[in-house]
Amino acid sequence: MGWDMKDREEAAFLDDFDAEVVKAGFMEGYIPAEKTRTGKGTVSHQLFLLWHLLDPSLEAADQPAWYSMGGKGFTFGGSASKVTVGDRELELYE
């Protein structure tokens, strides 16, 4: 079964950006029981995108921005050199 993004708030959020995608994919991570609402450990599948903004007038246009959607909603940022997705730490400046 695929992941239907048709009516997701996060999909509309991404429509506002004019950017070149550098890396995209799904990451799998483990969320331990003590961090879940149900009290049971679970595997989390997260959408991960890394991009450069195309408009040079925007703040941090020369820095990669990343978007991770998973167990705790989504996070948007642009100045970190590493990002943790699930249980993996990724280098953004490879």
pLDDT tens profile 9-30: 555 655 666 777 777 776 666 7
Closest CA to 86 of 32, 10, 37: 32
| Residue 67 placed within a domain | yes
Distance between CA atoms of residues 43 and 71, nearest Å = 9
| Residue 36 placed within a domain | yes
User: Residue 72 sits in which domain range?
Assistant: 9-91
Residue 31: pLDDT band with limits 50, 70, 90? confident
- DSSP letter, residue 75: E
> Considering its fold, how many domains does the chain have in total?
1
> Which residues make Cβ contacts (< 8 Å) with residue 59, sequence separation at least 6?
none
Helix (H, G, I), strand (E, B) or coil at 9: helix
Q: Whole-model pTM? A: 0.39
Residue 74: pLDDT band with limits 50, 70, 90? very low
